[in-house]
Structure 1
Amino acid sequence: MVFINILDKWLRKLAAAIVCGAVPGALAATPLTVVTEEFAPYSYVERGEVSGYSTEVVRAVLERAGMAYSIQIYPWARALQMAATRPNVLIYSIVRTPQRENQFHWIAPIAPRNVYLYKLVARQDIQIHALADLKPYRIAANRGDVVEEQLHQLGLTADLSAKDVFSLQKLIVGRVDLMVATELSIEGVCQRAKVSCALLERSMQMPEISGYYVAASLGTPAATLQRLRQAFAQLHNSDAMRHIADKYGVPPLK
C-alpha cells in the first residue's frame, strides 16, 4: 500500500489563498482529501508524488477552484470506502453506475473508458466471442471495481485482488484464465509486475457502462461542489484539458 500525503503543499496553497482573500472562510477551513488508486496512466506515483492524466486534471481543477487538498493512493476498495463514508473526500477515476448513483455527488467526467479481457497468448484453448462464452473461466478483477459488479450481474464469479498487478500475477501462474484491464493501463500493469506484455493477448471487450468521473462524498458541502463543477466546466472549455490528454495519450472527452 502506498500512502502519498502532500500536506505541506496544500497548507502553502491554503495560506496563500487566505492571505489573498481568494478562498471563502468555509471552504478554506475544510481541505479536501483526494483519493485514487495506482492506475497508470491515469494515476501513479512518480518521484514521490501522485501523477498521471486524471491527477493532472484534478489538480488543475482544484487549483482553479482555489481549494486546499491532499492526494493519496490506496487500493481501490479502500479509496472507495473512504469516499463513501467520510465527508470532504474527492475520488477519481471512478465509473458512474446506477448502483453508485446515490452514493456520491458526481462532479464531472474526465476520460472515456474501454475495458477488455486479457489472456495469455499461450492459452489458445480460450476462445471468447460472446458473454456466454465466459461461463467456464476464472476472471480476475480488483476488489470494489465496477468490473466486480459487472461479473456478478452476468452470473460470473470474480477472483478478486487488491491490485491489478496481483491479478496479472495470478494470470501468469494459471490461477485465473482471464483478467480485466484497459488498453492504456495494461502496459503499466505489466511494468509494475515485471512481465512482458507480449505474453498477453487482448480478447473480448467488456460491456460499456460509462467513462471515468470525479465524484465527491455525500458529506461534502454544496458550496464546495458548486465551486468544483464550475472549475471543471472552465477547464473543459479551455485547451488545457486537451493538452493534458495529449501528453498521456488519453482520448479526449467528446
Structure 2
Amino acid sequence: MPTDYSSVSSRVIKYLRNGVVALSLSAIAIPALASERLYIFTENYPPYNTSETGKGYAHSEEDISGICADMVKAMLSRVNYDYVMKMRAWSYAYNWVQDRENHGLFCTARTDEREDQFQWVGPLASIKWTLFAAPDSDLTLDSLADAKNLNIAGYKGDVMSEYLVDQGFNVVMGVSSDVNARRLTLGQADLWVTDGLVGPLMAEEEHDITGLKPVLVFRETPMYLAFSTNTDPRIVADLQKALDEARAAGDIDRIVASYE
C-alpha cells in the first residue's frame, strides 16, 4: 500500500519539535525549583526550638515549635521560597548544613569564631551563657575563672561548651544536652553550661528535676538563622528583609510574648 511519506515526515517533525520544547521547558523548570528550595535544620532546644512529637527529632515544620522556630516560620511566610524544616541532633545538623547550597541552621549563636563560616539572618533571640549547679549544691562563683578546676557538663557542637574547652576548662561532652541535668544530680559534673531558659525547662521536662541553681551568667550572644557560605547571597538578603518586615509589623514581639 502506498505511503504518504511527506505526511508522515511532517508528523514526525511535529512530534519531535513538541518533544524538544517539552524537554527544554522541563530542563529550565527543574533547576529553577531545585535552586529555590531551602533546607532548614534545627535541634530540640526548648523553649527556642521544641519537638512536638516528644522525640529529639522531627521531619516536618508541623512538628517543630518554639520561640526561634516561630520567628523563622514568620520570616519564611513572607517569601516565595519552597522549604523543608527538620529537627536533628545539633552536631549532625551543624556539620550537614555547612558547604551545602541553600541549607540553613537555627538558632545558631553568632560568634567571632563562626562569623566567616556562615551567612547570617537575624538576630532572632539571645542566649545567656549560664553555669548551673545541682539543686542541693552550695557552690558559688565570683567569676568564670573560679570554675577552672571543676567538671562542667556540656555537649558536642554547642558554642558555650566549645568556648569553655578552648579556654582550658574541664568539659564532659555528650552528643546532646538532655542528660546533663541528671549528671549534676548524680555527681558526675559540678556544673552544667547551658542557656538560662533552656536549663531549668529541660531538667524538669526530661528528668523531673526542679530547683537548678544558676551560679553564674558569663556571656550573652544573639542567635541567628545561619546559611552555608555557598548559598546565593540574594536568598539571604530576601530572608533578612522578610525578618525585618516581620519585626516592624510586630510579629516578632508577639511571638516572644506568647512564650512568657
TM-score category (smaller protein): 0.7 to 0.9
The match for 2:16 is none
1:34 lines up with 2:46 in the alignment: no
Q: Which residue of 2 aligns with 1:220?
A: 231
1:243 aligns with 2:258: no
Residue matched to 2:245: 234
Match of 2:67 among 53, 60, 63: 53
Pair 1:127 & 2:127 matched: no
Q: Using the alignment, how far apart are the partners of 1:155 and 1:107 within structure 2? A: 31
1:137 & 1:146 partners in 2: Cα distance? 19
Rounded Cα–Cα distance in structure 2 between residues aligned with 1:192 and 1:85: 35
Q: Give secondary structure in 2 for the equivalent of 1:109.
A: coil
Kept in 2, the 8 Å contact 1:27–1:224? The answer is no
1-side partners of 2:217 and 2:33: how far apart?
42
2:115 equivalent in structure 1: 101
Scaled by the length of structure 1, the TM-score of the pair is 0.82
Q: Percent identity?
A: 26
* Structure 2 portions without partners, runs of 5+: 1-30, 54-61
1:80 and 2:86 are equivalent in the alignment? no
Instruction: Check whether the contact 2:181–2:207 (CA below 8 A) recurs between aligned residues.
Output: no
State the alpha-carbon separation in 1 of the partners of residues 250 and 33 from structure 2.
Answer: 27
Aligned to 2:183: 170
Equivalent residue in structure 2 for 1:184, among 181, 190, 197 = 197
- Tell me what 2:217 maps to: 205
Alpha-carbon contact 1:169-1:193 (below 8 Å) kept: no
The answer to whether the 8 A contact 2:181-2:209 is kept is no
Write the distance in 1 (CA, Å) between the matches of 2:80 and 2:108: 23
- 8 Å Cα contact 2:203-2:210 kept in structure 1: yes
**1:128 Cα deviation (Å)?**
1.4
Q: Is 1:67 the counterpart of 2:65 in the alignment? A: no
Task: Decide whether aligned partners of structure 1 residues 207 and 187 sit closer, same or farther in structure 2, where only a CA change above 3 A counts.
Answer: closer
Is the 2:133–2:214 Cα contact (8 Å) retained in structure 1? yes
Larger Rg: 2
Q: Could you tell me how far 1:163 is from its partner in structure 2?
A: 1.6
Aligned residues: 222
Partner of 1:196: 209
Per-residue deviation at 1:220? 1.0
* 3-state SS, counterpart of residue 206 of structure 1: strand
Q: Which runs of 4+ in 1 moved over 6 A?
A: none
Q: What's the C-alpha RMSD, in Å, of the aligned pairs?
A: 1.7
List runs of 5+ in structure 1 lacking aligned partners. 1-24, 250-254
Match of 1:10 in 2: none
